[in-house]
Amino acid sequence: RAKSHGGSQFQFYEYGMEAELVRRVELERDLRKAIDKGELVLHYQPQINLKTGKLMGAEALVRWNHPERGFMSPEEFIPLAEESGLIIPLGEWVLNQSCQQIKLWINKGLDLDFVAVNLSGHQMKQAYLLELIKNYLDSHQLDAKHIQLEMTESVMATESESCLNLLNDLKEMGISVAIDDFGTGYSSSLSYLTKFPVDTLKIDHSFITNLPDDKDSATVTSGIIALAHKLGMQVIAEGVESEVQRDFLLQEQCDWIQGYLTSRPPRLKSLKPGSILIIQ
Ligand code: C2E
Ligand code: MG
Ligand code: MG
Ligand code: MG
């Protein structure tokens, strides 16, 4: 660490930390205004049925077209949004926008089951989340089955009473739920899988990347697929980039795939702020 080094390095390290702090404060300030200024964009990535090739759903992935920094990945600003509480208005914008978009697609006759929306743990703690979703569905005259919510494994694995209540309420409403990034979180405790009403497991892309040659990845992937099916859930593989990966997943009876193989995100620079991307 820098502190244990000589004086000049310490200074340098401190300067770096200060610059990082300034960057974060500025970004937070900008993010606060980004929603109202229409700088956020959703990119929808298709989810495809492996056996039939049919489109099932599309995951809404948020991007930020920053006035000076250009397009930013959610990996950069979602953590900031979570720490600052801005994830709440941001998440509301994503939900509303997703409802509006799928309504448009349905009206145009596109055969699409749902839009999958990523939900942060902070949003799940909001007492009015259910009411909010109901309002968006009502205002867009949308059936609940057209929305799927993705929650990460680390949030689910806390096995909290409030999480169970929320999931039960969502199920009653007819909203499906997927566990995102499955296999990377708290896999030492899988008991929540049998307690919580969940529709879909999403196998994290880190297991898909090295398929089919890496034996460990192959074993974990096959295991997750079998586990999900035994528990009556569907499985989506995330980050599928190649045909050999797809072939392996098909052979292992995986239900759906999502990834660059079927849809590469457009180059970020070519997007216009506020624009909505239509699935090709
Ligand atoms: P995620 O929900 O697991 O989303 C999948 C990520 O994998 C996306 O990154 C997607 O662009 C990327 N991806 C898709 N296909 C491939 C592929 O074939 N290869 C590789 N290497 N990557 C692929 P993205 O869009 O950068 O999003 C990163 C994460 O940010 C998401 O992970 C999600 O956790 C979070 N996020 C995105 N949008 C939202 C949002 O609206 N709300 C919240 N709370 N989080 C969001
Ligand atoms: Mg996701
Ligand atoms: Mg994921
Ligand atoms: Mg992820």
What residue type is assigned to position 50 of the chain? L
pLDDT at 264: 73
What residue type is assigned to position 120 of the chain? S
In eight-state DSSP terms, residue 5 is S
Where b means 16+ CB within 10 Å and e means fewer, 66-100 reads: beeeebbebeebbebbbebebbbebbbbbbbbbbb
Residue nearest (by alpha carbon) to ligand 1 atom 20:
239
- ipTM of predicted assembly, 2 dp: 0.97
Give the distance (Å) from ligand 1 centre to CA of residue 93. 17
Atom of ligand 1 at shortest distance to CA of 45? 14
Which of 31, 40, 61, 240 to mutate to test ligand 1, by most ligand atoms within 8 A of the CB atom? 61
Q: Would you say the C-alpha torsion 96, 99, 105, 109 has a positive or negative sign?
A: negative
pLDDT at 10: 55
Contacts of 168 (CB under 8 A, 6+ apart): 197
In residues, how long is the chain?
A: 280
Ligand whose nearest atom lies closest to the CA of 150? 2
Give the distance (Å) from ligand 2 centre to CA of residue 26. 27
**Rounded Cα distance, 114 and 267, in Å:** 25
pLDDT at 162: 85
What are the C-alpha distances in Å from 239 to residues 46, 116, 217? 12, 15, 14
Ligand whose nearest atom lies closest to the CA of 62? 1
Q: For 49-58, how does the pLDDT look when each residue is reduced to its tens digit (9 = 90+)?
A: 999 999 999 9
Give the distance (Å) from ligand 4 centre to CA of residue 148. 16
pLDDT at 273: 42
Atom of ligand 1 at shortest distance to CA of 91? 42
Residue nearest (by alpha carbon) to ligand 1 atom 35:
74
What is the number of alpha carbons within 13 Å of residue 199 lying toward its C-beta? Answer: 18
What are the C-alpha distances in Å from 10 to residues 14, 21, 70, 168? 6, 16, 32, 53
Query: Which residue is it, tokens 């989506």?
Result: 236
**Rounded Cα distance, 201 and 63, in Å:** 24
Q: Which residues line ligand 1 (CB under 6 A)?
A: 45, 60-62, 73-75, 78, 91, 94, 118, 120, 150, 180-181, 205, 238-241, 259-260, 265
Query: What is the chain's pLDDT, residue by residue, as a tens digit (280 residues)?
Result: 344 444 555 555 566 778 888 888 888 999 999 999 999 999 999 999 999 999 999 999 999 999 998 999 999 999 999 999 999 999 999 999 999 999 999 999 988 899 999 999 999 988 899 999 999 999 999 999 999 999 988 888 776 888 899 999 999 999 999 999 998 876 667 888 888 999 999 999 999 999 999 999 999 999 999 999 999 999 999 999 999 999 999 999 999 999 999 887 654 444 444 444 444 3
Single pTM value for the model: 0.89
**Rounded Cα distance, 212 and 249, in Å:** 9
